[in-house]
Chain A
């Protein structure tokens, strides 16, 4: 960043004493553009422009999970706080495996129990998912802190915009099964205020509901608010040009979203 050509040095406007027209010896102050003396511009005097960069992180992503991780640079940190207050949903693909139960709900933990899983069908799984969605839908409306008896609550509920705008326990707004091949399965989960460990626990509980057990093999965030996988930079592209391009691409979307939600 420091190697890039810097901003053009600002032209300073100084008030210089010049002899007043008409003589008389009075001194008038006239504004005149003065190019800054070369001494103030030279790199050697000033030093590199950027010595530290303020980088802030968005929603947490723990060690075993992967996916979209939002960072803010400089001014972007303020935008990060605003985005947090928008309470937008995040989308994860969660992979699971039937037949095992471990102590930390993932496949790398210590084995607690093994169970049969041949009786599980896609239909049974989808029924459980429908129930989870239903109870979480109720939680969504309850934690949104709007009086249910108002017309405003009805309007928001119809549009599907009713969601908690403050602190709330993890809520799953939508869940569906993407792939099902015993013993493995993959779910797509849209959620709010969650942690990855909560999603792993959810996989474990789905296993229990189906009279078997399940562990979580993969948690991957594919969307965080307005940022999707397409906007995210893989490790090979962690360089200045790509970062600048990514920021430019997302700028407009972030602004519209903030305006829409926070007004």
Chain B
């Protein structure tokens, strides 16, 4: 049909009603006279987007039509198996997934800097005033809603990072310390435990400022919190029965306290935790671990199943750049770009490798490395409770692990035993893994 239209147009343009087909010169002239369309403007920039996938019924994905469909014939979507675009008002610079809820933060200077969606039974998303009853708050938030932070200078302070645990959240700002909200039954919010405190519909957001230097990273484990400062020290508070606070005892701590052990005096550049085990990486590339070791996470140094003091893990795998801790398995990324896994569960080397105490390398060919493309490297590694995610320098996202309620985003519901590409329409810049959902920050291609 296209060819016929073009031929008719050409004929009309050349004043020939019928007869021999136009000659080459006539065609060339017609071609040069054709209008030129411009699809990309001068200021066309790559856009930043947010993609979500996984279990949606708690509202954690931030799409209300999944839970409450907007037309009567539509059915609620319990699981979103592939990446789905989430419209946000601002550019999101940091995202975190908790147990059934999500926090999104932007580096803007506007009053609203953090949005929350999902489960809010312990006020982990702050107080979300219900429209039906002004005195009560929402227990489930279906759409990213602003979280009001009690900032002293709301139009100057910027939010750097957010982190979510089982029922609490931490918000890191550049000049006003750390804000904590949510469940505090074990002191994970860094304030004194109040007996019989009702967390649902609570307005309380606590501010933490007493650290030896500025806090640069906050990490939430299941019921504990870790703070890393600029000087390279680590503070912890919260539930400690597995030694995850690393303070030398198994009790709860309600005030952030400095960790010692093997990391005393060491400049720690990254901390990670998701369940009850914690990992820290020093500037010299050493890995330290503490907490739960029931799944051989720390079995290379001790037979004990709980370790309450940070211990150096003497792995001979090269200088470590980044570490991520999951519920039962751990993953590290070395300076050369190699990925090592250990622990228990689906580790990523096929169904035969179920547990190992010593790190095993995942072959780089599974991340797209080949003789044809030899400069592909893994740039970041992330961990959910029983999933792993790896980001390459080309912006591709690979996931593997237990596919709990579609959280891997592969489109299939089966578990994935080796790294598998997730098709995202853009270059993945960062990904946050939760228990049964994931959020990714993506830049469009052109």
Chain A residues in the interface with B (C-beta under 8 A) = 99, 103, 109-116, 119, 124, 127-128, 130-131, 133-135, 137-138, 141, 148-151, 153-155, 157-160, 174, 176, 190, 209-212
Contact = CB atoms under 8 A, between A and B. Distances in A.
Contact of A113 (B37, B44, B395): B37
B6 A148 contact: no
B396 A154 contact: no
A138 B423 contact: yes
B370 interface: yes
Contacts of B363: 158
Contacts of B350: 150-151, 153-155
Contacts of A111: 6, 30-31, 34
Contacts of B417: 148-149, 153-154
B416 interface: yes
Given A158-B418, A212-B39, 18 more contacts: A103-B6, A109-B3, A114-B34, A115-B39, A127-B445, A127-B446, A128-B445, A133-B373, A134-B421, A138-B420, A138-B423, A149-B351, A153-B418, A155-B350, A158-B365, A209-B446, A211-B40, A211-B446
Interface in B396-420: 396, 414-418, 420
A260 B416 CA distance: 29
A103 B416 contact: no
A172 B183 CA distance: 51
> What 6 A-B pairs have minimum CB-CB distances, sorted nearest first?
A154-B350, A211-B40, A211-B39, A151-B350, A110-B6, A103-B2
B35 interface: yes
Given A127-B427, A127-B445, A151-B352, A114 B372 contact: no
Contacts of A135: 421, 423
A148 B351 CA distance: 9
Given A176-B372, A211-B39, A124 B396 contact: no
Give the interface centre of A137, A148, A176 by most chain B CB atoms within 10 Å.
Answer: A148
B349 interface: yes
A160 B365 contact: yes
B34 A124 contact: no
A108 to B, nearest CB: 10
Contacts of A138: 420-421, 423
A148 B414 contact: yes
A115 B38 contact: yes
Q: Is the interface of B mostly helix, strand, loop or mixed?
A: loop
Q: How large is the interface on B (under 10, 10 to 19, 20 to 34, 35 or more residues)?
A: 35 or more
B34 A174 contact: no
Contacts of A149: 351, 414-415, 417
Contacts of A116: 36-40
Nearest to A176: B372
B366 interface: yes
A137 B368 contact: yes
A138 B40 CA distance: 30
B102 to A, nearest CB: 26
23 contacts: A99-B36, A110-B6, A114-B35, A114-B37, A119-B44, A127-B445, A131-B445, A133-B368, A133-B373, A134-B423, A137-B368, A148-B416, A151-B351, A153-B418, A154-B418, A157-B418, A158-B363, A158-B365, A158-B366, A174-B373, A190-B372, A211-B446, A212-B39
Contacts of A154: 349-352, 417-418
- Which of A110, A116, A157 is packed against the most chain B CB atoms within 10 Å? A110
Contact of B446 (A124, A134, A137, A141): A124
A124 B38 contact: no
A138 B424 CA distance: 12
Given A130-B394, A154-B349, A154-B417, A110 B7 contact: yes
B2 A112 contact: yes
Given A111-B6, A134-B423, A137-B421, A157 B446 contact: no
A114 B368 contact: no
Contacts of A119: 40, 44
Nearest to B39: A211
Contacts of B368: 133-134, 137
Contacts of B366: 157-158
Interface string B340-358: 0000000001111000000
Contacts of B349: 154
A155 B31 CA distance: 54
A203 to B, nearest CB: 17
Nearest to A138: B421
A141 B44 CA distance: 35
A124 B44 CA distance: 13
B121 to A, nearest CB: 36
Nearest to B398: A134
Given A130-B396, A154-B350, A160-B370, A112 B6 contact: yes
A66 B7 CA distance: 29
B36 A114 contact: yes
